[in-house]
């Protein structure tokens, strides 16, 4: 996926690696970032999926669906500074998020909500790469195939949620 080629409202199917993380892991990463300490995970070039895995095992998540992204906005600039290319989640984000996508030339993508069992079938491999003690909030690396996404905010700051608003 080339961020420069993504256009707001575009539908696509992504095949490749994603880093799955939520609030607790990002809070730890941000603390390390602010202390100028090395992070336990490589974020350069990564795509971060804000998701809630259900009962992960070594072989499967069972179900995995996007989680609300707006509450992750306080971590977004740190992710972009560390080289994250795009984030994936659900729902509208803050004006700050749109501004950061434009400033850093990054994107925000939507994964279908309410399809967690179906999305889990698109996962080809998974492994915990940081903060195993957080359980379902650990950082996972997953490999997906034909993962359905919609570009919500492109690198120019065009935002799907701003269309048809009066």
How confident is the model at residue 49, as a pLDDT?
97
Q: What is the pLDDT of residues 26-70, one digit of tens each?
A: 999 999 999 999 999 999 999 999 997 776 666 666 788 899 999
Distance CA 161, CA 58 (A): 37
How confident is the model at residue 61, as a pLDDT?
66
Give the three-class secondary structure for 119: helix
Instruction: Average the pLDDT over 90-116 and give the result.
Output: 93
Confidence of residue 135 (pLDDT cuts 50, 70, 90): confident
Q: What is the pLDDT of residues 70-83, one digit of tens each?
A: 999 999 999 999 99
Q: What is the pLDDT of residues 107-133, one digit of tens each?
A: 999 998 877 778 888 899 989 999 999
Q: Name which residue leads in pLDDT, 31 or 165.
A: 31
How confident is the model at residue 151, as a pLDDT?
97
How confident is the model at residue 19, as a pLDDT?
97
The single-letter DSSP state of residue 13 is E
- Which residues, listed in sequence order, are joined to residue 126 by a DSSP beta bridge? 142
How confident is the model at residue 52, as a pLDDT?
73
Please enumerate, as own/partner, the contacts of 86-91 that have beta carbons within 8 Å and a separation of 24 or more. Answer: 86/1, 86/3, 86/6, 86/47, 86/48, 87/47, 87/48, 87/49, 87/50, 88/18, 88/47, 88/48, 88/49, 88/50, 88/51, 88/149, 89/49, 89/50, 89/51, 90/50, 90/65, 90/66
């Amino acid at each position: 996926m080339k961020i420069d080629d993504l256009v707001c409202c575009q539908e696509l199917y992504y095949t490749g690696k994603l880093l799955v993380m939520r609030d607790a892991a990002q809070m730890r990463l941000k603390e390390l970032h602010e202390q100028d300490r090395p992070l336990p995970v490589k974020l350069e070039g990564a795509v971060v999926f804000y998701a809630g895995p259900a009962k992960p095992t070594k072989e499967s998540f069972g179900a995995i669906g996007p989680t609300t992204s707006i509450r992750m906005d306080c971590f977004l600039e740190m992710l972009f500074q560390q080289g994250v290319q795009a984030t994936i989640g659900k729902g509208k984000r803050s004006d700050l998020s749109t501004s950061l996508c434009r400033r850093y030339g990054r994107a925000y993508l939507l994964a279908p909500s309410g399809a967690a069992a179906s999305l889990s079938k698109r996962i080809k491999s998974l492994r915990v790469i940081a903060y195993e003690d957080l359980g379902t909030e650990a950082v996972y690396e997953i490999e997906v195939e034909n993962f359905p996404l919609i570009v919500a905010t492109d690198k120019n700051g065009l935002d799907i949620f701003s269309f048809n608003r009066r």
